[in-house]
């Protein structure tokens, strides 16, 4: 018995390794993979043979033809192996992680997992590593030939590094998401668990979609693109940096709290963030499953950090950016979805209420329960975080894009209206979802979320039927309300022009001409002075900023704002009224029903 | 060792366990008896910290359940009524996983596995795959894995369910052995005869409530009002004569004749019982034996039913399983 190695590793991992990859199976898989790689390589080599009758190849020597075939083979093999690695790490490993806890339930071993003395962290870590074991094993066999193929194909090493970072971080992220979903289902009732094994493929599909959507940020050869472009312009040093700036403004450079960051780094950061929180969420779900008391602080921390990331990505005005109002709406949409999801997850269903009321006859005793207190506290804290993020974003759009100075002191008026709108929506939505959860819907709070979505789609469509865009139906929707609020705003819905000095190289020195106007989407030269070491001293910092409203403001703007806010507040109060009535009626029904049963 | 106070669990509006307050002392082997749906499994799950009660308190070995689940699981072992195994693992791998997961020190793992394999009679199956074991052996393997961390309290939910008679006898011996080792055991079943041989106390549940609980002998005395006695005769006529004599005898009550047997309850001390024995042998012809009947869980159940249960001889659902 091999006690030594196993005794040093995570027992959960060792168990999964012994079950999924015993020695004989590992040897078989290794042989199979080696044979497939060798066979595929041979086929690719044959396909990569250059056509010697091709005009361009007629006069090439055998050595050149050999080099050409080797390079083509290397490129094709690297691409093929990379696709295989993506499939393994983005689809297979997450899919297996997605069924890890579900499978324990279906197999009947979940009760042992619930009573284990392994800490939830070690348990989740063991499942996390174990679920990826097969994929890691095969990937470990494929990576060396893939790297060799990249070398043969003369692939840019930075591109290879980017791809492998994406593979690693993205794969682990989706694996963590799979684990979280699986851990969330571990404690669910049998009915919910039906079809639980479908979760794995669904998570795999999510991983594949992510790889397809974001892969180009990593597979594009930015260095080659830049070099080619720079030389095609003129080949001189100045244009090299000019093109750098162009890239900075383009799709491969994003901004985080105003700083230009390569898009792939932002994507990697976001994936790592999501993965880390998904893993933390999985650990928390395991804790809840094992009935270990959990406090609400981790949830607050998650929302605070997620908000910080979202605000960072949407932060500030930039030269090429015309529509901060749209970014505000994206922010509000994300927060509305998060709040509604949180309300749906925290809603107390009829079954739970019935259970609690069965032992607590005092109408207010229920509010003393930790579950309810924590849910209410968490919802209010998350709403507060969302409001703080909204204020920070709103403020950032009023800062001078070059100097960072605050340019308006009147912005809190509209900000307060948008904040109140978000607050009214969040509270009303929570009340409505709780109202729906007290009906006999099996899905509880989820039904409320669905109905709420239908309601807002309906009022939006109804609002679109009116000629006037600022009608009450439209203004009930907090996103459209904010859109109306910011329409034609100097800072939030305007084109931005930056008047800056223009630099022209003259021999070894440079000449600065003032009052050259740059308007989006033309590439502005603002950062030119900072990144070109040759001319940085010639360029004065800052410049003149001119805002030009993009659209006209509505005529009765003040009245619209007030009307929208009143409508949203009334709607929220109506939802609270409904929830309160349903609450007391449900309580009456349950207590009455039980009294009758006891008499029987 | 195990104490509950007004323990209640509702599933929606359905009360599974209602205001159960009981105490099981250390070293006791307690039978949890009741028909299907009485709330036995729910109660055991709450004792094991697997189910959150709607209200009430549970304390096991000084640990309040619901506050420190890990501390609870350190002293409690639970064998569920239905379970699965990691069929791909060998028996020793299965046990090694649980030993390490349950925090058995690395240097003690091998010894501990050998000990529980020995105790459960699975030593020969050490290298067999868990999936290849019979139902009885699987049951013993789960008990073995539960014993790895030497729990002070062992909760067994319908342990003999689905076992053949031979496996049941082996299981009974194993439970008796565990009881002798000082482990506090709570064994649930709806088949009384399964538990009759080795339980020292009983909790009888019906519709989520505890109907009666305590040590079996005390309960029987309390409920039957004396010492149960059995007289066996050569034939039915002898039994009828004995019945007639006992009916007129002071201190004897609840007389029932069945074939060549007469069961009755004697109220009095041991000397009085000896006197009754002498008189019966002297005055009734054909008496073969006279003895103090061994008290079983079934007796308690029947006694607590106050005769109602005698008509069916076993609680509801007992017909589903054959007795030992």
**Tens digits of pLDDT across chain B (324 residues):** 888 888 889 887 788 898 888 888 888 889 888 888 889 999 999 999 998 888 888 888 888 887 888 888 899 999 998 889 999 999 999 999 999 998 888 888 999 999 999 888 888 999 999 999 988 889 889 989 998 988 999 999 988 877 778 878 888 888 888 888 888 999 988 766 667 677 888 888 888 888 888 887 777 667 667 788 899 999 888 999 999 999 988 889 888 888 899 988 888 888 899 999 999 999 888 899 999 876 666 666 766 665 444 433 333 333 333 222
The pLDDT value recorded for residue A510 is 56
Q: pLDDT at residue A188 above 80?
A: no
Q: pLDDT at residue A391 above 90?
A: yes
**Rounded average pLDDT over A177-185:** 93
A351/B contact by beta carbon, under 8 A: yes
Nearest to B89 among A19, A292, A594 (CB): A19
A594/B contact by beta carbon, under 8 A: yes
* Residue B22: strand, helix, or coil: strand
A118/B contact by beta carbon, under 8 A: yes
Question: What pLDDT band is residue A138 in, cutting at 50, 70 and 90?
Answer: very high
* A contact test, residue of B13, B42, B105 with most A CBs within 10 A: B13
Q: Euclidean distance between the first and final Cα of chain B, in Å?
A: 29
Percent of chain B past pLDDT 90, that is, above it, reads: 28
Q: Widest CA span of chain A, in angstroms?
A: 103
Taking CB atoms and an 8 Å cutoff, what residues of chain B touch A111? 50, 78, 80, 83
Q: What's chain A's average pLDDT?
A: 82
In sequence order, the 6+-apart residues with CB closer than 8 A to the CB of B111 are none
The pLDDT value recorded for residue A470 is 76
**Rounded average pLDDT over A155-166:** 92
Own/partner contacts of B300-307, CB < 8 Å, gap of 24 or more, are B300/B33, B300/B202, B300/B204, B300/B212, B300/B216, B300/B219, B300/B220, B300/B223, B301/B33, B301/B192, B301/B202, B301/B204, B303/B219, B303/B220, B303/B223, B303/B224, B304/B204, B304/B211, B304/B212, B304/B219, B304/B223, B306/B223
Nearest to B92 among A1, A358, A359 (CB): A1
The pLDDT value recorded for residue A363 is 67
Minimum CA–CA partner of A8 in chain B:
B106
Question: What pLDDT band is residue A228 in, cutting at 50, 70 and 90?
Answer: low
The pLDDT value recorded for residue A529 is 35
Bridge-based pairing state of the strands B184-189 and B29-33 = parallel
The pLDDT value recorded for residue A472 is 83
Taking CB atoms and an 8 Å cutoff, what residues of chain B touch A354? 10, 12-13
pLDDT in tens, A236-266: 444 545 555 555 556 777 888 878 788 899 9
The pLDDT value recorded for residue B114 is 93
Taking an 8 Å cut-off on Cβ atoms, the answer to whether A11 and B100 are in contact is yes
**Rounded average pLDDT over A177-181:** 95
Taking an 8 Å cut-off on Cβ atoms, the answer to whether B52 and A291 are in contact is yes
Taking an 8 Å cut-off on Cβ atoms, the answer to whether A108 and B15 are in contact is no
* Helix, strand, coil % in chain B, rounded to nearest 5: 40, 30, 30
The pLDDT value recorded for residue A162 is 93
Q: pLDDT at residue A317 above 50?
A: yes
Q: Which of A77-91, A406-420, A490-504, A524-538 has the highest mean pLDDT?
A: A77-91
B107/A contact by beta carbon, under 8 A: no
Minimum CA–CA partner of B145 in chain A:
A112
Percent of chain A past pLDDT 90, that is, above it, reads: 45
Higher pLDDT, A573 or A493: A573
The pLDDT value recorded for residue A106 is 86
B84/A contact by beta carbon, under 8 A: yes
A219/B contact by beta carbon, under 8 A: no
The pLDDT value recorded for residue A370 is 83
ipTM of the predicted assembly exceeds 0.90: no
What does the alpha-carbon distance between residue A421 and residue A566 come to, in Å, rounded to a whole number? 9
In sequence order, the 6+-apart residues with CB closer than 8 A to the CB of A15 are A126, A130, B86, B89, B93, B97
Number of helices (H), then strands (E), in chain B: 11, 14
The pLDDT value recorded for residue B70 is 86
The pLDDT value recorded for residue A541 is 46
B101/A contact by beta carbon, under 8 A: yes
> Cβ atoms within 10 A of the Cβ of A471, count?
18
Taking an 8 Å cut-off on Cβ atoms, the answer to whether A7 and B100 are in contact is yes
Cα separation values, B117 from B91, B98, B282, Å: 9, 13, 55
A368/B contact by beta carbon, under 8 A: no
**Number of CB pairs, chain A paired with chain B, less than 8 A apart:** 100
């Amino acid at each position: 018995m091999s006690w030594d190695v196993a005794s040093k590793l995570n027992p959960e991992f060792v168990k999964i390794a012994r079950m999924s990859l015993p020695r004989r199976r590992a040897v078989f898989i290794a042989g199979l993979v080696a044979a497939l790689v060798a066979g595929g390589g041979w086929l690719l080599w044959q396909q990569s043979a250059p056509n010697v009758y091709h005009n361009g190849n007629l006069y090439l020597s055998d050595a050149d033809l050999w080099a050409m075939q080797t390079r083509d083979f290397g490129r094709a093999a690297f691409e093929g192996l990379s696709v295989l690695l993506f499939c393994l790490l983005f689809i297979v490993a997450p899919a297996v992680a997605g069924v890890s806890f579900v499978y324990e339930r279906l197999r009947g071993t979940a009760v042992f997992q619930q009573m284990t003395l392994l800490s939830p962290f070690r348990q989740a870590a063991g499942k996390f590593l174990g679920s990826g074991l097969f994929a890691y094993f095969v990937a470990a066999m494929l990576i060396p030939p893939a790297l060799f193929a990249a070398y043969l194909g003369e692939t840019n090493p930075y591109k290879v590094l980017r791809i492998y970072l994406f593979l690693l971080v993205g794969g682990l992220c989706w694996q963590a998401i799979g684990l979280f979903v699986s851990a969330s289902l571990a404690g669910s009732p049998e009915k919910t668990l039906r079809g639980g094994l479908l979760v794995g493929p669904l998570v795999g599909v999510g991983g594949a979609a992510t790889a397809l959507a974001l892969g180009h940020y990593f597979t594009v050869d930015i260095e080659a693109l830049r070099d080619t472009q720079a030389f095609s312009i003129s080949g001189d040093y100045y244009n090299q940096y000019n093109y750098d700036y162009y890239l900075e403004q383009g799709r491969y450079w994003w901004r985080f709290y105003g700083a230009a960051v390569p898009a792939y780094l932002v994507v990697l950061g976001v994936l790592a963030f999501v993965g880390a929180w998904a893993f933390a969420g999985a650990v928390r779900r395991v804790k809840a499953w094992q009935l270990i008391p959990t406090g609400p602080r981790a949830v607050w921390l998650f929302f605070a950090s997620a908000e910080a990331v979202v605000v960072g990505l949407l932060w500030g005005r930039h030269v090429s950016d015309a529509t901060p109002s749209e970014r505000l709406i994206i922010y509000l949409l994300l927060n509305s979805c998060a709040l509604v999801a949180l309300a749906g997850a925290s809603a107390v269903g009829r079954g739970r209420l019935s259970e609690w009321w069965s032992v607590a006859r005092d109408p207010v005793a229920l509010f003393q329960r930790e579950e309810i207190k924590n849910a209410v506290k968490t919802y209010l804290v998350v709403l507060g975080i969302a409001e703080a993020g909204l204020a920070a974003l709103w403020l950032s759009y009023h800062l001078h894009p070059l100097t960072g100075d605050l340019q308006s002191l009147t912005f809190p008026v509209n900000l307060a209206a948008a904040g109140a709108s978000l607050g009214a929506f969040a509270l009303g939505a929570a009340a409505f979802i709780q109202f729906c959860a007290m009906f006999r819907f099996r899905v509880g709070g989820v039904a409320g979320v669905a109905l709420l979505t239908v309601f807002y789609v309906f009022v939006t469509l109804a609002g679109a039927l009116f000629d006037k865009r600022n009608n009450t139906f439209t203004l009930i929707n907090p996103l459209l309300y904010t859109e109306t609020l910011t329409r034609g705003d100097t800072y939030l819905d305007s084109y931005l022009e930056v008047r800056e000095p223009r630099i022209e190289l003259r021999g070894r020195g440079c000449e600065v001409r003032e009052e050259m106007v740059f308007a989006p989407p033309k590439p502005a030269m603002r950062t030119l002075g900072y990144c070109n070491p040759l001319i940085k001293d010639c360029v004065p910092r800052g410049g003149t900023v001119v805002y030009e409203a993009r659209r006209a403001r509505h005529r009765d703007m003040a009245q619209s704002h007030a009307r929208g806010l009143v409508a949203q507040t009334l709607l929220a109060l109506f939802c609270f009224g409904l929830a309160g009535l349903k609450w007391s009626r449900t309580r009456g029904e349950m207590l009455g029903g039980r009294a009758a049963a006891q008499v029987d | 060792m195990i104490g509950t106070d007004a323990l209640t669990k509702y599933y929606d509006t359905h009360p599974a366990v209602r205001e159960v307050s009981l105490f099981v002392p250390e070293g006791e082997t307690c039978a949890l008896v009741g028909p299907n749906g009485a709330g036995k499994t729910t109660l055991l799950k709450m004792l094991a910290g697997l189910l959150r009660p709607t209200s009430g308190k549970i304390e096991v070995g000084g640990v309040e359940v619901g506050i420190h689940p890990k501390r609870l699981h350190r002293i409690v072992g639970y064998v569920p009524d239905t379970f699965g195994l990691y069929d791909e693992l060998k028996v020793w791998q299965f046990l090694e996983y649980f030993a390490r997961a349950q925090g058995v020190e690395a240097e003690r793992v091998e010894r501990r596995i050998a000990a529980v394999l020995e105790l459960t009679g699975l030593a020969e199956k050490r290298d067999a795959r868990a999936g290849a074991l019979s139902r009885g052996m699987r049951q013993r393997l789960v008990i073995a894995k539960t014993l790895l961390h030497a729990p002070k309290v062992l909760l067994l939910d319908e342990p003999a369910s689905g076992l053949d008679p031979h496996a049941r006898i082996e299981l009974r011996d194993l439970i008796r052995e565990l009881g002798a080792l000082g482990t506090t055991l709570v064994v649930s079943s709806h088949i009384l005869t399964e538990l009759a041989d080795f339980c020292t106390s009983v909790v009888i549940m019906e519709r989520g409530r505890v109907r009666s609980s305590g040590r079996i002998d005390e309960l029987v005395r309390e409920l039957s009002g004396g010492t149960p006695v059995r007289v066996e005769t050569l034939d039915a006529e002898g039994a009828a004569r004995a019945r007639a004599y006992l009916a007129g005898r002071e201190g004897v009550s609840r007389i029932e004749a069945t074939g060549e047997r007469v069961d009755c309850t004697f109220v009095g001390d041991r000397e009085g019982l000896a006197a009754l024995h002498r008189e019966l042998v002297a005055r009734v012809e054909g008496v073969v034996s006279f003895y103090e009947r061994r008290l079983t869980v079934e007796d308690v159940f029947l006694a607590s039913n106050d005769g109602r249960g005698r008509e069916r001889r076993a609680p509801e659902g007992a017909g589903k399983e054959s007795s030992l």
